[in-house]
Amino acid sequence: MHRSSGIILPVTALPSEYGIGDLGAGARRFLDFLADAGQSCWQILPMGQPSGGASPYQTDSAFACDPAWIDPEGLVEAGLIAGETVEQIFREIHGKRAGAGGSRVDHVKARAAKDAVLRYAWTRFHEAADEEFAELRGGLRAFCEANDRWLRDYCLYRALKKQFGGASWTEWPAEYRNSRELPDTGELRGEADYQAFVQFVFRTQWDKLRAYAREKGIKIIGDIPIYVPLDSADVWAHRHCFQLDADGRPTRVAGCPPDYFSEEGQLWGNPLYDWDFIRETGYRWWIDRIGWLSGLVDVLRIDHFRGFASYYSIPADAKTAKEGRWEPGPGMDLIGRLTSWFNELEMIAEDLGTLTEDVFRLLEDSKLPGMKVLQFAFDPKADSAYLPHKYEKNCVCYTGTHDNDTLAGWLAHGPEEETAFAKAYLGLNDEEGPLWGVIRGGMASAADLFMMQLQDVLGLGSEARMNEPGTVSDENWSWRVTAEQITGSGAEALAARLRAMTKMYGR
């Protein structure tokens, strides 16, 4: 990595006229803002569709992308739906017209409206004469052939879930639970074909946006959750890769021990990998997964990297994560293959949490940059490795992650001893502004890459926090930026200030 900086913003948090951020005009305007501000990277978080809520770290496929990101205006431009129809659908389902504002995402309504729009577009496409949409039809066929190794299973899984009212695959009748054969005709085939169409439309729009980012000199940083949910296309189709019993239920599940975020630890509940079986297959599923993502992003943040050194294993019937134990992971046997096979894909190791000697050794052997979070640096009772004067170049410094409070919220409500230490260490003052003082500390550090939450650049408080781990709330993953904040009268001055600081510190 060369010395650079960037901003974290989930796509769903972009400004949009359709209830939830998407790949349309709001995304392009944000890329314009990044370029104007002298930034080089945009970190988007995982790209999958949330499986039972709003968290992009719990998705129904490790491969399929989130249909809610699809821009309806792109469908209108392609002749698949009229703008008036999109407007009508949003009024009926979302409860407000397309174009109506709002600083929060109502995931249930927004996703339902997007699905209705896409189904209308699919019907128009499917029922049109063969010669109509000829280019799209050819593109769809090519996309399906190129991605058959994951797409067929995913589309059938989604079709079966619809057929059985959204029930988990573990509750399906045995003939469907244990078969991956797709019928040639009928409603099941029609739904599977629709799901393939949606993924093709997403990829078409994504490729256009990524090309725009490249024109602006912006790298896209993606994110790969280490685990997948039990109710996912991946576990249904590849259950031998997971620690399951004969009925397909987990015997042990994932989580993490008590830490900064939770005194009880975190009981995630994801099924754990059967690393012995995966090793025997040459890590094929993992190689396919990284290969797919390498075509979507420029840099990949590997979430919960420590789980590849050793992972926390909790009995499936445990009440809290305190009952877990550490087990050895695949280590360099897997990570070495991934970094050598995909040597043009830059990777970041999310090495936060409880770290042990095996994690440090894996990080050193892999030569991947780890993460340093400024909000974790200022415990006056500890000699923190996150203090900027201790950084080596090969690391990524963050103001905070999606799981942290905003800087303004942390400075206002964080432990008083920690915030006092931060103020003294960084020389925070009212003239510069405390938030900009923290940003300066990260910018000036030796870290090759420095990443900021957009909320911190905008100076927003705890109301703009993206996620609070260990809590279930409609507020989590619902914040989004307004168009005014990145294109309005104050945006130009904000971009100029950030650009000047970026230039000053050689990023």
Show Cβ contacts of residue 303 under 8 Å, excluding neighbours closer than 6 positions.
46, 57, 223, 224, 225, 226, 350
Residue 102 has pLDDT above 80, yes or no: no
Residue 97 has pLDDT above 80, yes or no: no
- The answer to whether the CB of 43 falls within 8 A of the CB of 34 is no
The pair of three-digit structure tokens given for residue 94, joined into one six-digit string: 């979302």
Cβ-in-10-Å burial (0-12, 13-18, 19+) of 246 comes to exposed
Overall average pLDDT of the 62-87 stretch: 97
pLDDT (0 to 100) of residue 421: 97
pLDDT (0 to 100) of residue 297: 98
pLDDT (0 to 100) of residue 101: 67
Q: Considering the candidates 66, 153, 303, 448, report the single residue annotated as catalytic.
A: 303
Q: Considering the candidates 71, 106, 350, 405, report the single residue annotated as catalytic.
A: 350
Q: What is the CA radius of gyration of the chain?
A: 23
Residue 136 has pLDDT above 90, yes or no: yes
Overall average pLDDT of the 6-23 stretch: 96
328 vs 259, residue with greater confidence: 328
DSSP conformation class of 49: P
Residue 25 has pLDDT above 90, yes or no: yes
Percent of the chain whose pLDDT exceeds 90: 89
Overall average pLDDT of the 482-495 stretch: 94
pLDDT (0 to 100) of residue 354: 76
Whether residue 148 lies in the annotated active site = no
**CA 217/CA 207 separation, integer angstroms:** 15
pLDDT tens, residue by residue, 155-170: 999 999 999 999 999 9
Lowest mean pLDDT among 50-59, 293-302, 330-339, 406-415: 50-59
The predicted model scores a pTM of: 0.96
pLDDT tier at 350 (50, 70, 90 boundaries)?
very high
pLDDT tens, residue by residue, 177-221: 988 888 888 999 999 999 999 999 999 999 999 999 999 999 999
Whether residue 323 lies in the annotated active site = no
User: How many C-beta neighbours within 10 Å does residue 179 have?
Assistant: 12
What is the Cβ-side half-sphere exposure of residue 500, based on CA atoms within 13 angstroms? Answer: 7
pLDDT (0 to 100) of residue 53: 85
pLDDT (0 to 100) of residue 261: 65
Mean of the per-residue pLDDT values for the chain? 95
Q: Which helix (H) or strand (E) segment is 395 a member of?
A: strand 395-398
Lowest mean pLDDT among 62-66, 128-132, 447-451: 128-132
Whether residue 350 lies in the annotated active site = yes
Q: Considering the candidates 87, 403, 468, 475, report the single residue annotated as catalytic.
A: 403
pLDDT (0 to 100) of residue 99: 75
What is the Cβ-side half-sphere exposure of residue 230, based on CA atoms within 13 angstroms? Answer: 21
Structural domains of the chain ordered from first start: 4-369+448-501 (3.20.20.80)
